[in-house]
């Protein structure tokens, strides 16, 4: 991801096509997919810890955790859709 950030900063892409082609390379594509996966798992673990520490009532805790899970899964599906769009 540092590589991706650096690539974006130092050699900005001129148009959508160049950006799509770059991301469609297998290694870049896999690294990006893994990054999204790891990022969302990490979001879940971190936010779960925060919620469990500060929210005491059981029902409220459940509601917030379910909401959080839905939120993160939705983001995951969204990024998967974007990544699949690049390949096809």
Partner 1 sequence: MCGACIDGVLNSLLITVPHADTPCYILSVPSGEIDINMQKKRPVFLDLLEIRLPVMALTSIFHRLSGVVLVLSLPLLVYLFDLSLRDDAGFSQVAAMLRQTEIKLLLTLLAFAISHHLLAGIRHLLIDLDIGVKRRHAIRSAWLVNLVGLLVAVVLVMGVWSCTG
Residues in contact with partner 1 by the rule CB under 8 A: 9, 12, 15-17, 19-20, 23, 39-40, 43, 46-47, 50, 53-54, 75, 78-79, 81-82, 85-86
Could you tell me the smallest distance in angstroms from the CB atom of residue 31 to partner 1? 14
End-to-end CA gap in the chain:
23
Could you tell me the smallest distance in angstroms from the CB atom of residue 15 to partner 1? 6
Give me the residue label for tokens 């599906």. Answer: 77
33 with 41: CB under 8 angstroms? no
CA–CA separation, 36 and 23 (whole Å): 14
Query: Which two tokens mark 25?
Result: 């390379």
Could you tell me the smallest distance in angstroms from the CB atom of residue 62 to partner 1? 19
Q: Which is nearer to partner 1, 19 or 31 (CB)?
A: 19
């Amino acid at each position: 991801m540092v590589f991706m950030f650096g690539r974006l900063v130092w050699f900005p892409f001129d148009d959508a096509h160049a950006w799509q082609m770059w991301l469609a390379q297998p290694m870049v594509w896999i690294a990006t997919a893994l990054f999204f996966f790891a990022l969302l798992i990490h979001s879940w673990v971190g936010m779960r810890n925060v919620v469990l520490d500060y929210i005491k009532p059981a029902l409220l805790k459940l509601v917030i955790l379910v909401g959080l899970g839905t939120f993160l899964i939705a983001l995951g599906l969204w990024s998967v859709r974007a990544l699949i769009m690049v390949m096809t």
